[in-house]
Copies of this chain bind each other. A is one copy, B any other.
């Protein structure tokens, strides 16, 4: 049994982690920490969990966590993670961090969009937890920077095509759409029901801080600088994410070549589904699962490739991928706790 703890369990990602661990055949949950709810039962935060989880929230205490857990999931705000992670690593605990603090290779890229980094050494050591791409390095990692939801939905379809030189690294676009849970559980006018319901539009056009995370990884895959145009939109649904990606194929590339490459990379992957010709992903098909669905269409005349990916932003885009990372780190079945059938309806 892998003993786990969750720091920052009062948000939506925390809730998903609690549920995933509850269902996990090889892991158990030993502690949940929460600043705002310390001393209160977890079911005070989420009454739906009554009967499933009886833990009481504690304040974060690295010493205490290190005695209880083999691995700690940090579902904390950016900046808080980098303060807590080193304390845990020092005590020999593995860390899977769901904030942006340990996702970057280039500390300057991080600091340009977030803030000064106070754990540079650990950042250098950390592995970007995009499971299908970095599996080997994840196996031996002490600390994982769990990818953002937008990056996951964009990187999985694009990396193979860039690596295999099927699409041009120039002029890439991702028109992405996210459910509201991606904005977290903190209250704000922008997540007020009456402001979001029956509404739809883009936000942070031209300066979303996920862009550098995406570009750093794509650049590595392409072997040359990639500067993707990224426009996020808010959809009035609770969970789900779709990215519609536009790329130019390299001269002569056919629909069949693209399919062959995607099948080669993902044909045996348990959590990536390449859809048949003419079928496209939908948020509703992956809701409640750890899947990333990918469909595509190539206009042979213009060479314009349209790829569409869908994930559940809280699962493959956050808690699900985090558990998948844990499974890899602890050398158990990668599907453990993630292969049951959720409620897409």
Contact = CB atoms under 8 A, between A and B. Distances in A.
A162 B233 CA distance: 26
A268 interface: no
Given A194-B12, A233-B177, A187 B185 contact: no
B340 A343 contact: no
A1 to B, nearest CB: 17
Contacts of A196: 193
A278 to B, nearest CB: 8
Contacts of A52: 341
Contacts of A48: 284-287, 289, 344
Contacts of A242: 200-202, 233
Given A12-B345, A51-B273, A171-B171, A192 B187 contact: yes
Contact of A205 (B194, B240, B280): B280
B181 A194 contact: yes
Given A19-B343, A233-B244, A344-B46, A238 B193 contact: yes
Interface residues of A, number: 82
A331 interface: no
A206 B306 contact: yes
A227 interface: yes
A194 B282 CA distance: 14
A199 B284 contact: yes
A240 B236 CA distance: 12
Contact of A229 (B46, B240, B299): B299
Nearest to A314: B345
Contact of A240 (B179, B181, B198, B246): B198
A167 interface: no
A291 interface: yes
B286 A345 contact: no
Interface in A292-315: 295, 297, 299, 301-302, 304, 306, 308, 310, 314
A112 interface: no
A133 B282 CA distance: 36
28 contacts: A16-B345, A19-B342, A51-B291, A173-B173, A175-B175, A181-B194, A181-B345, A187-B188, A187-B192, A193-B236, A195-B284, A197-B197, A198-B237, A199-B237, A199-B240, A199-B283, A201-B242, A201-B280, A201-B283, A201-B310, A202-B244, A205-B280, A205-B295, A205-B306, A206-B306, A229-B299, A287-B343, A340-B340
